[in-house]
Structure 1
Amino acid sequence: MNEPIKKIAVLTSGGDAPGMNAAIRAVVRACTYYRVECVGVYRGYQGLIEGDFETLNARHVSNIISKGGTILKSARSAEFRTEEGRFKAHKHLIENGIGALVLIGGDGTFTGGLKFIEEFNFPLVGIPGTIDNDIYGTDNTIGYDTALNTVVEAIDKIRDTASSHNRLFFVEVMGRDAGFIALNSGIGAGAEEILIPEKNLGLDRLVESLNKSKEKGKTSSIVVVSEGDKIGKNVFELGDYITEHFPNYDIRVSVLGHMQRGGSPSCYDRVLASRLGVAAVEALLDRTTGVMVGITNNKVSTVGLNKAIKMNNDIDPELLKVAEITSI
């Protein structure tokens, strides 16, 4: 990194998250501000391997801050997991005079970035873009706030029909390995129970809780289930089990699925993405590499990519207590 960086590339990888476009916009405009050329890489690491590049300026990213998804597209790349694939990707970067890379994505994206640093010592910085909020080193990831609002809005509507028909709804939300979406949306939507991977409630406890709700006169209930919860093989199996114990309930299962990824990003996610996009470019220009930029106590911070991948954010025990108390 002795030579000054004259060209920075940016890509999005992994699952899309609302606010990724805002981050792309911030990277491009920060490059313009600091008089550095910016190159967009289409389709993540696969585009890097194929040299699918386009020079971007401030006007290219006009009016994208409000759009969900990612204008640079995202794709899984089995080829990038091979030495040959990474060699091709590095060759395209060098041939195009690109001196540094900004990665927007989650732990899989950062794992690929670490490998790239190990093999080629190529300067890069990560920006956490994932709705699961499961990346260590930042209080919030881009897309998490929007996903929460989407889930709460959906549960509010489900509760209307649950109340009208004395129904028990199991609402599955994303979170294969982390329960942040389920816990926070469950509290925000007033769920009777919240099932998350980090805390195995167990079938007996769930049945006991639903019994208590019925004894207290509740005629309908909402149970928010993180997709990674360990009680049943899946939310439908869990619904079948509860049907056996509560024959008077009309059981319904609703899987919110990929609707949680879409939609216009919230103001919070737009601001977060803008701050982190600028911070990523500034870090690279300051000769900082191998880190992820995040937000800690409302201040921009950095953490090594290896820590961001290997370490976990813990569920706040206060939130678990709040969920228990407010579900009475």
Structure 2
Amino acid sequence: MKRIAVFTSGGDSPGMNACIRAVVRTAIYHGLEVYGIRRGYNGMIKGEFWKMESSSVSNTIQKGGTILKSARSQDFMTKEGRQKAYEQLKEYEIDGLVAIGGNGTFTGATLFFEEFGIPVVGAPGTIDNDLYGTDYTIGYDTAVNTALDAIDKIRDTADSHERVFFVEVMGRDSGYIAMPCAIGGGAEIVMIPETITSVPQVIDTIKNGWERSKTSFIIVVAEGDEEGNATDIAAKVKEALPIMDIKVTILGHVQRGGSPTAADRMLASQIGIATVEGLLNGKTDVMAGIVNSKLVFTPFKDTINKKKIINQRFTRMVEILSV
């Protein structure tokens, strides 16, 4: 293996640049040439390749987003699109790929490997922390701290005006952001896709709290909760409790941005090194991750198909601490 390429795909996450930096410098350390592919699979199809040197990633470890840009590619999901991508890789004599992203990225990577045999090792770059095969994903710690900082500020207003705030955080299929935000932010309720929390339960909790002289409430809602989004849930609660002053805050994409925390920089650096050394050691069609403080390589099919479970004791913690 003489030449590798690295790209980011799907939603951006804080720490992606730290991972790119680690990939580039590890490749150079081992005597490899390294190219960056701009705009993910779209860029691979169009030949947007950038020969990277050590200086290419100087002053990037602290930056959010991704210097390689990111995009979702419909063309890559076609056989013709993947054929074009393969031809571009052959033109640039790329021997292996590092794919930084989440489920969609790895779905494309495993299909690409099956069809063309290009070795691919993945790095888990997503704020959702929903990938099987790693305790934490790159960007998760930063996203949680960003959301928690916002909830702390909302709590001040909720307390001052004696309001009920529904705060929606990201998590279409996972409550991994919502749960630590609820515990760390002192929320009365958390609503996540992994557990059933009905609107009547929310109403009862608010009523019971009010009777105990609670005058403000924070309800953290993962955007993919079975009862709907925060706006829908808040409307139902307002209908049942018209006397309550109810507000909704949707944190949205603010959770994706910002300078990565120390934890995310460390994780991204460790995994970036592992992806390159994994390729050199013959690893392919796998994701590098950290489980119980140990480096592991998990097949893409497992990261895509196996469910990462939230510990149910966290739900009980919210219930106990909200009394």
Asked whether 1:305 is paired with 2:300, we answer yes
Asked whether 1:108 is paired with 2:104, we answer yes
Asked whether 1:80 is paired with 2:76, we answer yes
Q: Which residue pairs with 1:267 in the alignment?
A: 262
Alignment of structure 1 residues 278-317 onto 2, 5 Å: 278-317=273-312
Name the amino acid aligned to 1:269.
D
Q: Which residue pairs with 1:15 in the alignment?
A: 11
Alignment of structure 1 residues 168-183 onto 2, 5 Å: 168-183=164-179
Q: Note the C-alpha offset of 1:318.
A: 1.5
Partner Cα distance (1:97, 1:27) in 2: 18
Q: Which residue pairs with 1:238 in the alignment?
A: 233
Name the amino acid aligned to 2:273.
V
Name the amino acid aligned to 2:169.
V
Q: Which residue pairs with 2:321 in the alignment?
A: 326
Partner Cα distance (1:280, 1:217) in 2: 54
Q: Note the C-alpha offset of 1:231.
A: 1.3
Gaps of 5+ in 2: none
Partner Cα distance (2:264, 2:125) in 1: 10
Q: Note the C-alpha offset of 1:248.
A: 2.3
Alignment of structure 1 residues 150-299 onto 2, 5 Å: 150-232=146-228, 234-299=229-294
Partner Cα distance (2:35, 2:195) in 1: 44
Name the amino acid aligned to 1:297.
N
Q: Note the C-alpha offset of 1:43.
A: 0.1
Partner Cα distance (1:312, 1:265) in 2: 26
Asked whether 1:147 is paired with 2:155, we answer no
Partner Cα distance (1:58, 1:213) in 2: 57
Partner Cα distance (2:62, 2:295) in 1: 22
Q: Of 122, 125, 134, which aligns to 2:130?
A: 134
Q: Note the C-alpha offset of 1:174.
A: 0.1
Q: Of 95, 102, 105, which aligns to 1:99?
A: 95
Alignment of structure 1 residues 20-35 onto 2, 5 Å: 20-35=16-31
Name the amino acid aligned to 2:219.
V
Cα-to-partner distance string for 1:209-254 (whole Å, 9 max, x where unaligned): 111111111101000000000113x321211111122222211000
Task: Tell me the percent identity.
Answer: 54
SS of the equivalent of 2:20 reads helix
Partner Cα distance (2:79, 2:152) in 1: 49
* C-alpha RMSD over aligned residues: 0.7
**Scaled by the length of structure 1, what TM-score is found?**
0.97
| Residue-pair matches, total | 323
Name the amino acid aligned to 1:218.
K
Asked whether 1:122 is paired with 2:86, we answer no
Name the amino acid aligned to 1:279.
A
Cα-to-partner distance string for 1:194-217 (whole Å, 9 max, x where unaligned): 000111111121111111111111
Partner Cα distance (1:312, 1:57) in 2: 38
**Scaled by the length of structure 2, what TM-score is found?**
0.99
Partner Cα distance (2:190, 2:92) in 1: 50
Partner Cα distance (2:257, 2:89) in 1: 31
